[in-house]
Structure 1
């Protein structure tokens, strides 16, 4: 959810300058040429998945809706454009009253996607649609990359807890978006309070090594933390000697100690030793949390370890080596004139080097096999085959400029779990491979 859902105030600035200059220069030229009002259809898609990925995850849709709603050229923004001579006065006059009045369809947030999938379809006049290109791609490329990494980590964790803790490893605003995307992709909590405030994501956190080093002894530090936070707190046990720290922790908190955190060393070996020691001391219900530059491969390697939760930072907020999805925003159809009744004509880019696109306003459906698992992503521009009518993926998000599909973040998260579970089992393998299902055009 966002802060409006929580009943909390938030200063929402205009998103109109989250764009590239050429969007505005194209607008200026189209206005002058008389083509700006031609009805157009743009689609967001990716030509290929990042190397090694077998499926993508749609994330950021809710943020896209916020960005579209707040795409306004206020006095300060118009003043900047005028002072820097970005566009002429005619274009400034048009921008002053800009409100997106078209329709947007898209894959619902949390859904999976594949090469060619029309993740978002934006329809309206060329002028109103072209301005949204950069902000839409900025959000979807970032958030979907984080969600895909989170999903892989979630699958590798096998139901164990996942804590997003990457705020200090990225831009402060990206950190909030990353926490949101990670939650969609399967993480349970975040350390970032801004993400908790804005989106209602559960937040967690206790102490760092600095807190231990502040005190005259580790015992004093543990005692202070337990006094303040209770016996159910999580104590960081690898500042000095792990075995000694475990003994001290249980002496102070007793068997009610909530958890211990390990942040260094051979995590597999240390986790086994700590679990044995905790059990021998009677702290059989005390959980073990591990951190330390984890990614999906490290998480998978700890499957046999007695670990209850993983804390992930750097690798998560950087997409685990794939920080973008390479999504593009391309015009696929446009009217033959500015007449609202003019027919749409498919258009497509035919560049060399693989940068081609498929023209036409597309529908998308996912065909399943006899067991109910996905077997193909099917795309088309004509009538939807009868056997795919109830398997269509696009839903309307914006109608006539109004948002019609806001939903709680929890809904997107649950949707992702269901969508991932409906893929062939090889989707969650971490070995290199092609997309788990093919894309078919009909």
Structure 2
């Protein structure tokens, strides 16, 4: 029996529910191999995912390579939530001042429930494979497993998988199911796919955006040999054209229709690299509709809101860097459009993009804004010394997912709650645009 996911209509804007509003705890810097129950409960301030799945399992068993030992970060970046003097410009030299405002309320307020939850967590399976193949009988068991799955992605990361090179003639036919594809589908709530529906959409022929799709697909990750060995252009065209038909008949975001926009080809690429074509189509469609529908409206409303939020967050996190870039007339609209629109998928290498997406799909795509800021801070010294920083920003340095994630989970704790709420909602809530028009509300 396949697992079933039912979300109340109010939560369908986001597969994460209101858990999106909770800031991931800085667990990645833990030097211990075992997490205490207090650390586990700090992952979210509250747990309101509202899943009603009765089974959370995988139809196939995938052998895992490597161990599941906790990894500690090599990035020792530390920062402060308190106001700093103008002389302390180097954000990396600051330290966190912990106050009671920093402490995250445990997910369950009742001591009895916390104890029960902790005991239940101790009995849960301890590997990705075991979690995916476990039968869950209650909603609480599902929540606990998803909670643990997210925590494992954050601390351990998914094990390396050697995906085979595929001959172009069979790329769309043969696709071994990877562990990553299963994890992504669980985070997105994609438990059912329909070959009949996908074939029906393909048979409709060329959509009204077909020419736009063809203008973009041939250059999708064109320099990445591993991608080209597993994904051909025809697969991209079919998925994107079928998606255009699906959106034309079923979905809008507010008053703006969801349609094909430039950059969507790059968003589809990681799904096709990781999954079979049918799984990739339904996962990609769910991802766009639930995680970031405002990113693909004709006006790119969510993207532009994200760029404004990036500027506001950078001004809070690193005023010196923000002011320097501003003095060079560089705003996020100029240097970060591609990184925000594609969730950093435009920054090579692809294997690092996949690791970053593990984190974003686990905790929310809104965190990509802070991931972009993390990349800026990692090259902060070069930017401040450069006479023309745009030359550095035009092609971002190669992505290092571990360093970016490590820094992001530290930066997130310093964002004011009101600003973080807008950050969470900007990919799918059109009211954020009006809220951002209020000036000086966070600084």
Query: What is the TM-score with the length of structure 1 in the denominator?
Result: 0.22
Larger radius of gyration: 1
More helix by share: 2
